[in-house]
A and B are shown apart, each in its own frame.
Chain A
Amino acid sequence: MSMHQPAFLRSAARCSMAFLAAAFVLLVSPAADATNIERTLSPGGIEIWLVRDVTVPLIAVDFAFRGGAAQDPADKLGVGSMVLDLLDEGAGDLDANAFHELMECKAIELRFHIGRDHIRGTLRTLKENQDEAFELLRLSLTAPQFEANAIERIRAQVMSELQHQTMTPSNIASRTWWDTAFPGHPYARQVNGTLETVPRITADDLRAYARRVFARDTLKVAVVGDIDAATAGRLIDSTFGSLPAKAELLPVPSATPQGLGRRIVFDLDVPQTSVTFGGSGIAPDDPDFMAAYIVNHIFGGGSLSSRLFREVREKRGLAYGISDRLVWLDQTAVMIGGTAVRADATGEAIDVIDDQVRKMAMDGPTAEELTKAKTYLKGSFELELDSSTKIASQLVTMQLDQLGIDYIEHRSALIDAVTLADTKRVAKRMLDGGLLYTVVGRSKDITSKRAER
């Protein structure tokens, strides 16, 4: 339910696009003053990336474990997601009620998020409550109760959400896309499970998942705010030190997206058609990554001036928003995007996108577009480093992507090194195979088609 939104969020404007875009700007630019990053080892041997800033009396912690929904057993899909939902529903000696009361009383914010390959978590606390905050995090990770009533409460919420998603056009489109692109692979899964598997999940399944995945060897941590290295080391040790040394992870097979060139249409009686589109991507460990990132930015990435935005929205008024992004996972990389278009113009919109794919694959960006994209990418990163919370998040992302602690300093040079020839070559490499489209709505002017090649 989204009924209690403050007036600011009710504003019916262009906001969603920019915020969506901002969430995926990953690449860094010249060193921000606030990011004097210190790498420190806790006495117990846990590596911490630390930025000390005493301006505001708060501490932001961000952390990640390898794992994610790809580690769910095939008959228990959604178990990892349910574990995270239950971590603050009672832990140690505190029942759910006491745990939540303490969080509220001390204004402690504890959030978890599951992706396909990773679990991410954030802790935010006022400095004066730091000990209680880290203690709650410790309890949630090392001693979750998985109490029977709490499990049923959360299960009912997950089932309700899954039911809702079966009727939500954008979710159907996206689910169908992943399912078609990665048939039978863990990446095809929805991270919150299915209506069939969630009812089967037991307390033992939840405990087993937590035991296998929460471990020190895959942990990445960043701490930002009003805290020194010694205190951070002590608190990080007390929080994570008693976790198992090693995670027990199932291997995830490598994969490439399938079904490129196909269009899959799903009939639903709604006034607007949801479209997910995507194709091959390029991962950060690939020498072509920066060129790919630039090409994607120009094609449909994060600004109000991409080719897709201009052609679909500004020139033709077919949609309110359209964008795409590069997504890299441990075992694959894709570019994936979405839009919602007027039902009677769905075919036209897809033709416009396809036309842009062909043009970009054939000719690549122009010199002017490349110059602008470079200055954009160099200038934009600092906007993601203007709060303790955002800095902590970026530092964990940099660790996950193995970019190195000095990445912020040499990132501009990496961007500048990309040539027009690189972008033309990489545009062809990414887009020449065409895209897979999944379309949900009353789209009379378009039908499913198999790949032409």
Chain B
Amino acid sequence: MQNVSRISFLTWCVVAALAFVPSRSGAKPAPEIAHFTLANGLEVVVVPDHRTPVVTHMVWYRVGSADETPGKTGLAHFLEHLMFKGTKLHPQEEFTQTVATIGGQENAFTSSDYTGYFQRTRREYLKMLMEFESDRMTGLVLSEEAVKPELQVVLEERNMRIDNDPSARLSEQMEAALYLNHPYGKPIVGWRQEIESLTRDDVLEFYRRFYTPNNAVLVVAGDVTAEEVKIFAQETYGKVKRVTDISPRLRPQEPAQEAPRTVTLADPRVAQPSVSRYYVAPSFTTAKTGEGEALEVLGHILGGGENNRLYRALVVDKGIAVNTGADYSGTALDYGRLSIFGSPKPGFTLAQVEEAIDSVIAELLDKGITANELDRAKNRLIADSIYARDNQGTLARWYGAALTTGGTIERVATWAERVRAVTPESVREAAHHWLDKRRSVTGYLVKQTLPGEKVT
């Protein structure tokens, strides 16, 4: 049992000097990231990974649901779907069929701030992918026949993601209540009645307004060199003309939030009640220097890590909750968010769980965090950047998301040192400032009892 005592001895924690430095084993240093801009304004990022002859090819547009015209929620996402309907040069599903035939994967995604398209294939198809993708950057052709069934698909997607799931419905209502003025309160997929009224003209107008090389970021990760990507990019994307100038992304900002809000959603299908709280926070882009990193550490210690404070207090020590957690999400142009949730064990109420959450927060505000907690959190968060290097798709997403939410290449590359610079004081300060209930909404998910049913 010699090993066991050695392990127990090591339970204390020190911040290791890892990440982006060659390790003792002789491992190579992290790959060189290349970053350049074509004459038409398209930004390009290259993330080499030569382990497997595979590439991940992504185009990110700096447009998301928060850029939609009022009254037309769901437009960014609907356009994302319709981008698969073909161009003059490659009609109908030629692109999708080609990717399928060569054994590639493809998909697309929409967030509040960005819309992205990607394919993964063997390396030799890269230039072909770039030809297809650059062609649909401005060449989309849409027929009414293509638009109509796709609108039904999007409505079913909304049904699947939101309407069929009580906790997703609550979350949608909470987001709407969290923002008094900013469009982050609108659902990415859109409100049902507004999706239903979207037209082909709406989509094409939106497309022409935002889909232009000077509003896009190309990220290529995998078995490629910066030189070859540059040549291919010039021969494909380089030929796409600017459609329009892009104005600064100025969204209506939040006024001073002065009152905590609460939202309750009752549904007969709720088997496990829960309480959630969202706080408005700055994003990595709008935070003061070091503040976003402090919030990341705060979320981790409060409710993200293997042995976080909420879990220890509510689930282990008090035994009143089945589960609990917290999280900071800061990859956004305007606002980030601190989120907390807890679900009571049978026999305990939402009020008891909420009170316990509030007392964990109060203790953290009062006494701050310990050095050991901070070191554990840092090690875990810094290690993420090494684990990310094992997956070309993950790295590509990190860079794409940063560059379309006001971040920089440097911000991603210096993640480890920025986390290492977090101090107990900066975490406490961030907690004091941002865990302010006046800027929060608390949501209750409860079982709706039907007439004639007994309350249990």
Contact = CB atoms under 8 A, between A and B. Distances in A.
Interface residue SS majority, chain B:
mixed
Given A3-B171, A11-B109, A106-B379, A375 B102 contact: yes
Nearest to A11: B109
B120 A387 contact: no
Contacts of A101: 11, 13, 306-307, 376
B13 A8 contact: no
Q: Which of B23, B155, B392 has the most chain A CB atoms inside 10 A of its CB? A: B23
Given A1-B323, A3-B171, A105-B376, A166 B10 contact: no
B148 interface: yes
Given A32-B53, A104-B305, A271-B159, A153 B316 contact: yes
A33 B51 contact: yes
Nearest to B103: A379
Interface string A13-57: 111011101100000010011100000000000000000011111
A207 interface: no
Interface in B341-377: 341, 343, 345-346, 375-377
B429 interface: no
Given A375-B101, A382-B122, A132 B163 contact: no
Contacts of A165: 271
A359 B83 CA distance: 31
Interface string A370-385: 0010011111111101
B379 A317 contact: no
Contacts of A55: 27-28, 49-51, 389
A300 to B, nearest CB: 14
Contacts of B262: none
A11 B159 contact: no
Interface string A335-358: 000001110000000000000000
Interface in A108-166: 109, 124, 126-128, 132, 135-136, 138-139, 149, 152-153, 156-157, 159-160, 163-166
Nearest to B166: A167
Interface in A147-196: 149, 152-153, 156-157, 159-160, 163-167, 169
Interface of A: 1-8, 10-15, 17-19, 21-22, 29, 32-34, 53-58, 60, 92-94, 96-98, 100-107, 109, 124, 126-128, 132, 135-136, 138-139, 149, 152-153, 156-157, 159-160, 163-167, 169, 226, 238, 268-272, 274, 303-305, 313-321, 340-342, 372, 375-383, 385-389
The 6 closest A-B pairs by CB, nearest first: A379-B103, A317-B152, A317-B149, A107-B383, A4-B327, A380-B103
17 contacts: A1-B323, A2-B168, A3-B339, A7-B329, A7-B401, A7-B405, A10-B112, A11-B111, A19-B107, A34-B52, A104-B379, A109-B387, A149-B316, A226-B27, A313-B153, A375-B103, A382-B53
